[in-house]
Amino acid sequence: MTLDRREILRLAGVGCAALAAGVRPADAELAPSPASADSWAVLMDTVACIGCRKCEWACNVENRLSDAPASTFDNLKVVDAPRRPEHDSFTVVNRFRSPADRDHSWTVKLQCMHCADPACASACLVGALAKDQTGPVTYDAWKCIGCRYCMVACPFQIPAYEYNKPVQPQVRKCTFCAPRLAEGRSPACVAICPNEALTFGRRQVVLDAAHTRIQASPGRYFPHVYGESEAGGTSWLYLAPVEFAYTGLPALDDEPIPHHTERIQHAIFKSFVPPLALYGVLGLVMHALRGDNGHQENTSG
Amino acid sequence: MSRSRPWIVSLALLLAALLPASASPQTAADKAMTEDCTECHTCGVPTARQPCLKACPRTTMVHQASKHQLREAPGMMHLDQLADLYLPVEFNHKAHAGMAEMGLDCATCHHFSPPGVIPPCGECHEPNGSAADLSKPNLKGAYHRQCLACHREWSHDTKCIVCHAPSEQAKLATAPPDPTDIVGTVHPAIAVPAKRVFTTPYQAGPVVTFQHQEHVDLFGFQCTDCHREEGCANCHDITEARRPARTQEEVHAICNDCHGADACAKCHDTRERPGFTHNRTGFPLTGYHQQLDCWSCHPKGKRMKRIDSMCRSCHANWSPETFKHHVTGLVLDEVHAGLDCDACHPDHRYNASPVCDTCHDDGRTADKAPPGVHSKTKSSGASSSSGSAGGGTR
C-alpha cells in the first residue's frame, strides 16, 4: 500500500481536527465540584477573633506537631509578623492593620482551606491528596512520592514539606481534624476558640449564618464571604471588617483552580483519542517512509 | 331559698376574688408585652417548661425589664460551668453593674430581658452549641464575646489570665469597698484630672476652666453623677477622632444639673481661672473650719447657699458652759469664766475685738489687760481641740 503526499496531508488534517475539537470541552464535562451544601465547613470571623493563638495550641496538641510547651503560644507578639503554615504548625494567626488607622487591626487564622475542588489533589500524580465528600482534603503518606507538585499548585501556599526529615519526609497540612469529624466532634481549633470566632457546621448552614451576620451588622463586616465562590468554593469561609485584599487571602476568581489545567489536559487525553490520532499519524508516516525504504532496498538488492 | 342566697352570694364573691388573684401575676407583665405572641414564641401555647422562644439576637434587643437598682444586683458570681483549661471566673457582677450605669444600664449585657425577668446567659446560650443552629453563639462564645467586647476595646489585652485564674494560688477577686461607684472597686484607681480648660465658641468668654478635682473633693460628686452614657473607650484608647462629638445642649446639660440658673459668666471667662478658695467669699477658713466639708456649714443642695458669717449661725449652742475658751488661745481666769459671752462679746460678734467697758471704766482693753492667761500654743490648741468647738477668734 502506498500513500501519496495528498493522502498523508489529509490524514494529518483529520488528526489535528480531532485534537482541536478536544481542546475546549464544555465546562459541564469537567469534573463536577464536590462542594456540597451538606459537607462540613468552618466560618472564620476575623472581627470576632482576638488573636489569642489558642487554635494554634490546640492544633499542635491534637496533631502532635511539636514539643513546644503551652506557654509558647502565650506570646501574642508573633501574630504581628505574617507567618505561613509550616510542617509543624498547620495553622497560624496573623494580624493585619488598616492602612488608614494603624490602631485598627484584625487577626486572620490561616490553614488549609479544604477547597471544594482542590488544586493540590488535581496536581497530585498519585492521588495521595483527595477531597473527601464530608469536607476534608485528605493526604495519604503511603501514596505520596514527594514530588511537591501540590505545593506549587496550591493558591494559598498551604502544603509544607518536611525538609528536615531525610527519611520518609511527608507533605504536611491541616487535616480538618478528619478523625474528629468522623467521631462527630468539631475540629480542635474550633472547639477551643474562646470567642467563637470559628463556627463549625454544614456548609450551607454556615454560609447562611455568615450572611445573617453581614445583614445584621452591615458596618461591622465587608459584605462578602470569602470562600463562598473563590476558587470554586472552599470549606473554610471568612468574614472580614474590610475588603479581603487586607486579610492576606489571595484574590481568586470563581473558577476552580484545576479547571485551568484540566480543561486542556483532560481534553487532550479524553478517551485517549489525541494520542491515538497522533501516534496514528506518526505510524502512517513511518509506514509510508518504510515502504519507500523497502522499495529502495529491493531495487538495490 | 332565702337561706341559700347568702351562700351563693359568698361563693360568687369568693370566685370573683379568686379569679383576678390567680391572673394578677401575669397581667402586669402582659400589659408591657406586645399583643402578638408569635413575635417571641414559635408555638401557640408556650408554657414555662416549654417556652418555645425564638432566638432573639442582639439586633432586636428586647429589654422591657423595669429599671433595676444597683443594690439589687448580685455581687460576686462564680462562673464555673465551662471551666476546663482555666479555673472558674470570679466575676464581680456588682462592680460591672456599677460601670454599666454609665452606659446602657443592665441592657449593656442583659440584651434579652422580657418583662420582669433577667434570664441568665445559659438559659439561651447552650454550653455545647449544636452545629445545626448557628443563630447564636454557644455559652463559651457568649461569655467571651460579652466580656471581650469591652475589655479588648480599651485595654487591647486579651490575655486569658486577666479574668481566669491560671492556678489555685491565684487570688480571687474581692468584693469592692464601695459598690455604689466605680472608683475603689476592681477598676484600678482612676487618675482624676485637677482641672480641664476648654476653649469654647462663646465669644464673650471663650475659656471655661472646669475644676474637676474640686467638684469631686469639695462637692462630693461621684463619677456617675456626671459620667453617664459613657463607654470604656471614652477614657481608654482615646483619640480625638474617636471621641463622639457632643452638641452644645449635651455639653451644657451635664453642668446645668447644678448651674442651670447661673449666668454664662459663672463658667465662661476670657482667661483661665484659678481654683476655688474660701478666701474669695470673705470668710477665710482657718483652724477647725479647714477640716470640714462644705455641707457641715452650708445647707445641702445642688446649689451652694451663702450663709451668715456670724459664729452663731452655726454655733447656736455656744454658752460659757459648752465653749472651751482656751481654744482661742486665752485661758479665762476664774472671774471672767463665769460671765456670759455677750459681757465681752456684745451681740455675739466674736469677730470684733472684745470690749471691757461693760464692767470696767478704766479704759482697759483685752490686749493690754487680758482677762486671763494667754496660752503659748494658741494656734496648735485651736486646731487640736477640733472636737470640742470652733475658734472664736480668727
Q: With contacts defined as CB-CB under 8 Å, which chain A residues touch B160? A: 52, 194
Quickly state the pLDDT bin for A3 (edges 50, 70, 90).
low
Give the minimum alpha-carbon distance from B304 to chain A in angstroms, rounded to a whole number: 45
Residues of chain B with pLDDT under 50: 1-4, 14-32, 57, 59-60, 65, 167-180, 183-186, 378-394
pLDDT for position B8: 60
Nearest to B134 among A195, A201, A217 (CB): A201
Q: With contacts defined as CB-CB under 8 Å, which chain B residues touch A201? A: 131-132, 134
On the question of a common fold for B37-162 and B196-276, the answer reads yes
Is residue A46 within 8 angstroms of chain B, CB to CB? no
pLDDT for position B242: 59
CA end-to-end span of chain B, whole Å?
Answer: 94
In our burial notation (b when 16+ CB lie closer than 10 A, e otherwise), range B281-317 reads eebeeebbbeeeeeeeeeeeeeebeeeeeebeebeee
- Closest Cα to residue B97, out of B108, B86, B87, B88? B108
> Long-range pairs for A267-273 at CB < 8 Å and ≥24 separation?
A267/A22, A267/A23, A267/A24, A267/A25, A268/A19, A268/A22, A268/A23, A270/A22, A270/A25, A273/A18, A273/A22
Per-residue pLDDT, averaged over A157-170, amounts to 92
Radius of gyration of chain B (CA): 33
Point out which residues pair with B25 in neighbouring strands. none
Contact B134 A216 (CB under 8 A): no
Q: Is A30 helix (H, G, I), strand (E, B) or coil?
A: coil
Contact B158 A52 (CB under 8 A): yes
CA distance A149 to A129: 11
pLDDT for position B239: 61
Q: With contacts defined as CB-CB under 8 Å, which chain B residues touch A95? A: none
pLDDT for position A156: 95
- ipTM score here? 0.72
Which is more confidently placed, B109 or A230?
A230
User: Contact B56/B112 with Cβ under 8 angstroms?
Assistant: yes
**What residues does each domain of chain B span?**
1-32, 37-162, 196-276, 311-384
% chain A with pLDDT above 70: 85
Among B85, B126, B134, pick the best mutation site for testing chain A contact (most A Cβ within 10 A).
B134
Point out which residues pair with A131 in neighbouring strands. A137
User: Contact A234/A227 with Cβ under 8 angstroms?
Assistant: yes
Is residue B84 within 8 angstroms of chain A, CB to CB? no
Q: Which three cell numbers stand for residue B349?
A: 460678734
Q: Which three cell numbers stand for residue A234?
A: 472552599
| Each residue's pLDDT tens digit, B48-92 | 667 676 655 454 455 554 566 767 777 777 777 776 777 778 888
CA distance A86 to A161: 8
| Each residue's pLDDT tens digit, A260-279 | 888 887 777 777 787 888 99
CA distance B27 to B14: 20
Nearest to B59 among A48, A74, A216 (CB): A216
Contact A195 B239 (CB under 8 A): no
Is residue B132 within 8 angstroms of chain A, CB to CB? yes
pLDDT for position A200: 94
Radius of gyration of chain A (CA): 26
pLDDT for position A301: 39
**Superfamily (CATH) of domain B37-162:** Cytochrome C3 (3.90.10.10)
Give the minimum alpha-carbon distance from B79 to chain A in angstroms, rounded to a whole number: 15
Quickly state the pLDDT bin for A180 (edges 50, 70, 90).
very high
> Long-range pairs for A250-255 at CB < 8 Å and ≥24 separation?
A250/A155, A250/A156, A252/A155, A254/A229, A254/A230, A255/A231
pLDDT for position A42: 96
Q: Closest residue of B to A73, CA-based?
A: B159
| Each residue's pLDDT tens digit, B215-225 | 877 777 777 77
Q: Closest residue of B to A184, CA-based?
A: B131
Contact A196 B237 (CB under 8 A): no
Those residues whose C-beta lies under 8 Å from the C-beta of residue A148, and which sit 6 or more positions away, are A159, A161, A171
CA distance B15 to B19: 6
pLDDT for position B380: 41
Q: With contacts defined as CB-CB under 8 Å, which chain A residues touch B132? A: 201-202, 205
Quickly state the pLDDT bin for A293 (edges 50, 70, 90).
low
pLDDT for position A160: 96
Is residue B135 within 8 angstroms of chain A, CB to CB? yes
Is residue A103 within 8 angstroms of chain B, CB to CB? yes
- CATH 3.30.70.20 for domain A40-255, yes or no, is yes
Give the minimum alpha-carbon distance from B64 to chain A in angstroms, rounded to a whole number: 21
CATH code: domain B196-276 is 3.90.10
pLDDT for position A163: 93
Is residue A52 within 8 angstroms of chain B, CB to CB? yes
Nearest to B134 among A193, A195, A209 (CB): A209
Is residue B239 within 8 angstroms of chain A, CB to CB? yes
Is residue B1 within 8 angstroms of chain A, CB to CB? no
pLDDT for position A145: 94
DSSP class of B58: G
User: Contact B75/B94 with Cβ under 8 angstroms?
Assistant: yes
Q: With contacts defined as CB-CB under 8 Å, which chain B residues touch A192? A: 85
Q: With contacts defined as CB-CB under 8 Å, which chain B residues touch A103? A: 237, 239
Give the minimum alpha-carbon distance from B124 to chain A in angstroms, rounded to a whole number: 16
Contact B137 A76 (CB under 8 A): no
In our burial notation (b when 16+ CB lie closer than 10 A, e otherwise), range A222-236 reads bebbbbbbbbbbbbb
pLDDT for position B101: 73
Report the mean per-residue pLDDT for chain A. 85
Quickly state the pLDDT bin for A176 (edges 50, 70, 90).
very high
Amino acid occupying residue B258: C
- Give the containing element (helix H, strand E) for B273: none
Contact B144 A196 (CB under 8 A): yes
DSSP class of A172: E
Nearest to B138 among A196, A205, A216 (CB): A196
Is residue B191 within 8 angstroms of chain A, CB to CB? no
Give the minimum alpha-carbon distance from B137 to chain A in angstroms, rounded to a whole number: 7
Contact B132 A74 (CB under 8 A): no
Those residues whose C-beta lies under 8 Å from the C-beta of residue A272, and which sit 6 or more positions away, are none
Is residue A208 within 8 angstroms of chain B, CB to CB? yes
